[in-house]
């Protein structure tokens, strides 16, 4: 008489143990991620904001960006080789903080004492973006399937990098550039991991977020183009991170959003500086005729 086949209890038990081990490992990784993000954020804020008011003198390119802020607050047109977003961010922070230019102080020389100038909120802008960069790098590393310890090492490298730290403590635009670039890369990685058929709405959201953040990075400085260009190449050809390239309608959406975002910041810039100013000498007569008080 044939005996009925029975389920293998040992095999079933091993499968359950493997599943339990996998769940435990995933839970442990999630807990590590949360703890690492909190610790990295606290350390980033501490290192960026500690004695932020020191030195109370004009340092390096604060000489330029302080001037640009004064011109913008007076509505005077000026010329700068960089796109306007970084300076617009400082302008908004100054308006929010009640910044009023001090007479006879124009950031005229490196080492000039700030005196009564309300420079601290402007340095806070750089500090906030510099602090936000650190956990963002951790998240990018995790999106790249790097283990939690490896992601922690990557974020710590940014946390303790002296150049990044210094640029996050002065009236400079580089911390904005680095944050927008890292955030754009994170959104791109999320986009590439999102299937078109099963998650169409989420995919569109990631496309828009990637395009906006990439355009914001380039709108701070054109030197940020490297990251959006890399994202565009990978997305167009479907390289490495993707099973297939973006579809034509997705590429058109990304390009339209990016170009529109870039143009909006220039429109805002020209709206805030409608008067004749120190930038007149760089512009054509036709352009100058559109400025107020132009001779």
pLDDT of 6: 47
How many whole angstroms separate alpha carbon 51 and alpha carbon 110?
19
pTM given for the model: 0.91
Instruction: Inform me whether the pLDDT recorded for 244 exceeds 90.
Output: no
User: Using an 8 Å Cβ cutoff, are 187 and 142 in contact?
Assistant: no
Instruction: Give the list of residues 6+ apart from residue 135 with CB closer than 8 angstroms, or none.
Output: 37, 40, 41, 44, 155
Residue 16 has pLDDT above 90, yes or no: no
Least confident of 8-17, 29-38, 61-70: 8-17
CA 143 to chain centroid? 16
Question: What is the tens place of the pLDDT at every residue in 125-179?
Answer: 999 999 999 999 999 999 999 999 999 999 999 999 999 999 999 999 999 999 9
From the list 66, 53, 186, 68, the residue with the least C-alpha distance to 132 is 186
Q: What is the mean pLDDT of the chain?
A: 92
Pick from 86, 188, 92, 176: nearest CA to 131: 176
Asked if residues 231 and 184 have their Cβ atoms less than 8 Å apart, the reply is yes
pLDDT in tens, 55-84: 999 999 999 999 999 999 999 999 999 999
CA gap 248, 54 in Å, rounded: 51
- The per-residue pLDDT for range 95-133, each reduced to its tens digit, is 999 999 998 899 999 999 999 999 999 999 999 999 999
**Integer Cα distance of 79 and 190 in angstroms:** 37
The pair of structure tokens assigned to 30 is: 């999630």
- Would you place residue 8 in the very low, low, confident or very high pLDDT band (cuts 50, 70, 90)? low
Please answer whether residues 68 and 93 qualify as being in contact, where contact means their C-beta atoms are separated by less than 8 angstroms. Answer: no
Three-state SS sequence of 108-173: CCCCCECCCCCCHHHHHHHHHHHHHHHHHHHHHHHHCCCCHHHHHHHHHHHHCCHHHHHHCCCCCC
The answer to whether 100 and 118 have CB atoms below 8 angstroms apart is yes
Q: What are the percentages of helix, strand and coil residues in the chain, rounded to 5?
A: 65, 0, 30
Burial class (CB within 10 angstroms; exposed 0-12, middle 13-18, buried 19+) of 284: exposed
The arithmetic mean of pLDDT across residues 278-287, rounded, is: 93
Give percent of the chain above pLDDT 90: 86
Q: Which whole number is the average pLDDT over 14-43?
A: 82
- b or e along 245-256 (b: 16 or more beta carbons within 10 Å of the residue's beta carbon)? ebeeebeebbee
Q: Please check whether residue 73 is in contact with residue 99, taking contact to mean a CB–CB distance below 8 angstroms.
A: yes
Asked if residues 155 and 135 have their Cβ atoms less than 8 Å apart, the reply is yes
């Amino acid at each position: 008489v044939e005996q009925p086949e029975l389920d293998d209890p040992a095999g079933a038990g091993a499968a359950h143990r493997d599943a339990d081990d996998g769940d435990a490992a995933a839970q442990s990784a999630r807990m590590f991620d949360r703890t690492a993000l909190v610790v990295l954020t606290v350390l980033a804020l501490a290192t960026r904001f500690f004695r932020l008011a020191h030195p109370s003198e004009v340092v390096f390119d604060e000489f330029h960006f302080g001037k640009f802020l004064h011109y913008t607050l007076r509505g005077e047109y000026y010329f700068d080789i960089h796109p306007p977003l970084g300076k617009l961010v400082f302008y908004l922070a100054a308006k929010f903080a009640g910044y009023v230019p001090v007479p006879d102080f124009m950031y005229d020389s490196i080492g000039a004492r700030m005196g009564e100038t309300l420079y601290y909120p402007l340095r806070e802008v750089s500090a906030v973006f510099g602090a936000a960069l650190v956990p963002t790098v951790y998240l990018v590393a995790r999106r790249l399937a790097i283990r939690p310890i490896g992601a922690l090492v990557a974020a710590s490298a940014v946390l303790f990098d002296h150049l990044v730290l210094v640029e996050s403590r002065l009236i400079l635009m580089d911390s904005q550039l680095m944050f927008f670039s890292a955030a754009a890369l994170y959104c791109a990685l999320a986009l590439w991991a999102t299937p078109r058929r099963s998650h169409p709405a989420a995919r569109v959201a990631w496309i828009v977020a990637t395009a906006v953040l990439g355009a914001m990075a380039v709108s701070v400085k054109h030197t940020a183009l490297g990251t959006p260009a890399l994202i565009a190449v990978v997305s167009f050809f479907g390289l490495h991170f993707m099973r297939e390239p973006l579809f034509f309608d997705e590429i058109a959406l990304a390009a339209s959003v990016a170009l529109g975002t870039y143009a909006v910041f220039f429109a805002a810039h020209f709206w805030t500086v409608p008067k004749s100013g120190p930038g007149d000498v760089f512009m054509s007569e036709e352009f100058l005729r559109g400025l107020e008080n132009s001779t």
